[in-house]
């Protein structure tokens, strides 16, 4: 498909000393389409040319030539504004979507590149709560988008299955196993045990020491501790899988922290060889104070490891197994310091520069209740399964109120309810904290997942009203030059560019916002234009545009993990 930014950048590069790729990065979209389709800010050249942006714009305009793709150039306040050929744009976009269908927007930019995406990563024997949901949804969407753009993508669920908390769980299990129905209600009952043992640890320091000793025994392979640990892990994974199945989330690797426990000695040895490992009150540390990163503990004074050590062992393993170009850690921003520390320490592990540069923490904001922060220790969490089930029930209730005769109500309610929750987790910039509020999550009006689904169902309904979808060879693209049609077409044209921005910034909210804009623009087009028209030529053009929107909305939503309903 024609790259209009490329054409404009080449024209400007031929008349200046700037690199074409640099110019391309400067080209913007004007705030108002009446001003043009693309704009070049001439103040970017002012310092080098020692002229005012207005003068540069006037001189460039005199030198630049029009062609079949660029039909007009105007100057507005130091900007060169370019108008593209809308007929060519319309034809290019609709033909590309027709030819590629669900592959429209994909490319081979990720060819021969490997990206690891670590996401979800819940803690064994603890509830899968809404904080994990956000992590899971963000990671799953990045995984899908990278894959769509041709990357060899590996989804990793780095389970929290090791650490002092398991010493606590083992101690609680040892003391109170028979008081709880762990087999039939594992997560809730294990949570109750965890809260109880944690409270006891606060009251009695000697119990906390026993818990720490349990973890040390687990690391050393104690038979009883291993037996309990394996049981807790198996029961938890079985429960977690129910949530993953509901969300349609899959992983390529389920290697948790424990997998790397026998690989830690190599990390310690390498750090000792480099001479950066220090003793500190019996513990082994790497001092990063000179870099403003404090102290990274490698081994505790009792000889047990912490998750930083296991993360370093995981990096070594992943380098050797995947030789990755990127390794993304989708983890809350509370762990910012942790990742800065391990990425810094990883520089001493003889890792190829490509892999070192590819280590990236994709931090996201915390999910909090209206009443404050969630805590497993305090028993104040909202469990994901309960949230998803309630979302589906609320969606079904709305369907029964508005469309009681709808077929397959349960199936459609599931798509709508899950779509509402998923979209709520990716629609805003991921670094922002999110306050969980039922009324916000399940608001089916405004800029929400159900709104996108509603517009998709509208396009589907329109397409079902015609006897046949027109052949694009018969389309008169001159009939799609009105403002509403052109806004939709320009949105469709930008789909691939939006996906590229998502992977550049690891920000799926860009796709979510794009789908809202496309839906709103199609709604305006629908309201301003009669689609089923007496004039067959007009109808064919508008049906072709509707089909293109239908395809892109469905594919875009799918990349976020949202399934489209057939009816609403």
- For residue 344 the two structure tokens come to 């810094």
**Beta partners for residue 297, in sequence order:** 285
Residue 296 lies in a domain: no
Q: Would you say the C-alpha torsion 449, 455, 461, 466 has a positive or negative sign?
A: negative
Query: Which pLDDT score is estimated for 369?
Result: 65
Same-domain status, 150 and 189: yes
- Burial (CB < 10 A; 0-12, 13-18, 19+), residue 211, is buried
pLDDT of residue 493: 97
Q: Are residues 346 and 422 in the same domain?
A: no
Strand partners, 295: 287
The pLDDT of residue 269: 94
Q: Give the residue numbers spanning the domain of 450.
A: 384-560
Instruction: Please report the pLDDT score of residue 442 as a whole number.
Output: 63
Residue 253 within any structural domain of the chain: yes
The radius of gyration of the chain from alpha carbons, rounded to an integer in Å, stands at 28
Asked if 368 and 410 sit in the same domain, the reply is no
Last residue of a domain, one of 373, 392, 409: 373
Assign residue 399 the CATH number of its domain: 1.10.730.10
Q: Same domain, yes or no, for 439 and 531?
A: yes
Q: C-alpha angle 485/7/499, rounded to 5°? A: 60
CATH of the domain at 44: 3.30.1360.70
Residue 515 placed within a domain: yes
Helix or strand run (H / E) with residue 372: strand 372-373
Return the CATH number at 243: 3.40.50.620
Structure tokens, 194: 């965890």
CA distance 115 to 511: 19
> Does 307 fall in a domain?
no
**Is residue 390 located within the same domain as residue 522?**
yes
HEC string of 193-241 equals HHHHHHHHHHHCHHHHHHHHHHHHHHHCCCHHHHHHHHHHHHHHHHHHH
Sheet holding 367-369, edge to edge: 372-373, 367-369, 434-436
Give the model's pLDDT for residue 129. 79
Number of domains in the chain: 3
Q: Which of 313, 344, 373 is the last residue of a domain?
A: 373
DSSP state letter for 56: H
**369 and 335 in a common domain:** yes
266 within a domain of the structure (yes/no)? no
Ordered mean pLDDT values, 10 residues apiece, the chain (568 residues): 94 87 91 91 84 92 94 93 96 97 95 97 84 92 98 96 88 94 89 92 93 89 93 90 93 92 92 93 92 92 83 97 98 94 96 97 83 54 82 91 89 95 91 76 77 96 94 95 96 97 97 97 96 94 98 98 94
Contact 553, 452 (CB under 8 A): yes
Give pTM, 2 decimals.
Answer: 0.91
For residue 303, being part of any structural domain is answered with no
Same domain assignment for residues 156 and 79: no
Q: Within this chain, do residues 140 and 160 fall inside the same structural domain, yes or no?
A: yes
Q: Are residues 460 and 368 in the same domain?
A: no
Do 240 and 139 lie in one domain? The reply is yes
* Residue at 270 is within a domain: no
Q: At which of 373, 404, 434 does a domain end?
A: 373
Please provide residue 68's backbone torsions phi and psi, each rounded to the nearest 5 degrees.
-65, -20
> Residue 338 has what pLDDT?
96
Comparing C-alpha atoms, which of 501, 502, 548 is closest to residue 522? 548
pLDDT in the model for residue 244 = 94
- In a shared domain, residues 76 and 166: no
Is 458 among the domain residues?
yes
Q: 238 and 144 share a domain?
A: yes
Nearest to 545 by CA among 98, 137, 207, 195: 98
């Amino acid at each position: 498909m024609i790259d209009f930014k490329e054409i404009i950048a080449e024209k400007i590069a031929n008349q200046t000393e700037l690199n074409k790729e640099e110019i391309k990065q400067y080209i913007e979209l004007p705030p108002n389409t009446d001003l043009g389709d693309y704009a070049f800010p001439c103040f970017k050249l002012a310092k080098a040319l020692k002229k005012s942006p207005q003068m540069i714009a006037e001189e460039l305009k005199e030198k630049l030539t029009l062609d079949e793709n660029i039909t007009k150039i105007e100057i507005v306040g130091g900007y060169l504004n370019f108008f593209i050929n809308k007929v060519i744009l319309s034809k290019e976009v609709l033909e590309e979507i027709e030819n590629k269908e669900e592959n429209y927007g994909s490319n081979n930019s990720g060819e021969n590149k490997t990206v690891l995406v670590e996401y979800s990563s819940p803690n064994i024997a603890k509830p899968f709560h809404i904080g994990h949901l956000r992590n899971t949804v963000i990671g799953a969407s990045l995984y899908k988008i990278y894959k769509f753009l041709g990357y060899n993508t590996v989804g990793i669920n780095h389970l929290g299955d090791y650490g002092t908390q398991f010493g606590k769980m083992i101690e609680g299990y040892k003391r109170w196993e028979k008081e709880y129905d762990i087999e039939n209600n594992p997560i809730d009952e294990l949570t109750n045990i965890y809260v109880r043992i944690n409270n006891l640890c606060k009251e009695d320091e000697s119990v906390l020491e026993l818990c720490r000793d349990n973890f040390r025994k687990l690391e050393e392979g104690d038979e009883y501790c291993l037996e309990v640990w394996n049981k807790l892990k198996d029961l938890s994974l079985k429960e977690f899988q129910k949530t993953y199945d509901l969300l349609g989330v899959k992983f390529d690797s389920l290697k948790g922290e424990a997998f790397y426990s026998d690989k830690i000695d190599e990390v310690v040895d390498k750090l000792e060889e480099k001479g950066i490992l220090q003793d500190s009150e019996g513990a082994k540390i790497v001092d990063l104070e000179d870099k403003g990163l404090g102290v990274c503990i490698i081994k505790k004074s009792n000889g047990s490891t912490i998750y930083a050590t296991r993360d370093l062992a995981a990096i070594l393993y992943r380098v050797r197994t995947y030789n990755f170009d990127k390794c993304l850690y989708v983890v809350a921003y509370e762990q910012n310091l942790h990742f800065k520390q391990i990425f810094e320490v990883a520089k001493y592990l003889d890792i190829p520069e490509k892999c070192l540069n590819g280590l990236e923490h994709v931090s996201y904001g915390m999910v909090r209740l209206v009443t404050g922060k969630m805590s497993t220790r305090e028993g104040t969490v909202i469990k994901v399964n309960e949230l998803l089930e309630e979302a589906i029930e609320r969606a079904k209730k709305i369907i029964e109120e508005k469309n009681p005769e709808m077929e397959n109500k349960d199936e459609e309610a599931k798509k709508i309810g899950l779509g509402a929750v998923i979209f709520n987790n990716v629609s805003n910039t991921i670094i922002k904290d999110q306050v969980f509020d039922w009324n916000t999550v399940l608001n089916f009006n405004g800029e929400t997942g159900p709104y996108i689904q509603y517009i998709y169902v509208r396009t589907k309904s329109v397409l079902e009203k015609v006897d046949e979808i027109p052949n694009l060879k018969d389309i008169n693209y001159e009939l799609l030059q009105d403002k509403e049609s052109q806004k939709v077409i320009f949105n469709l044209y930008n789909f691939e560019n939006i996906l590229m921005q998502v992977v550049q910034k690891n920000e799926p909210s860009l796709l979510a916002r794009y789908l809202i804009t496309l839906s709103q623009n199609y709604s305006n087009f629908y309201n301003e234009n009669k689609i089923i028209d007496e004039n067959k030529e007009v109808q064919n053009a508008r049906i072709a545009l509707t089909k293109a929107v239908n395809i892109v909305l469905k594919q875009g939503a799918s990349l976020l993990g949202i399934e489209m309903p057939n009816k609403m």
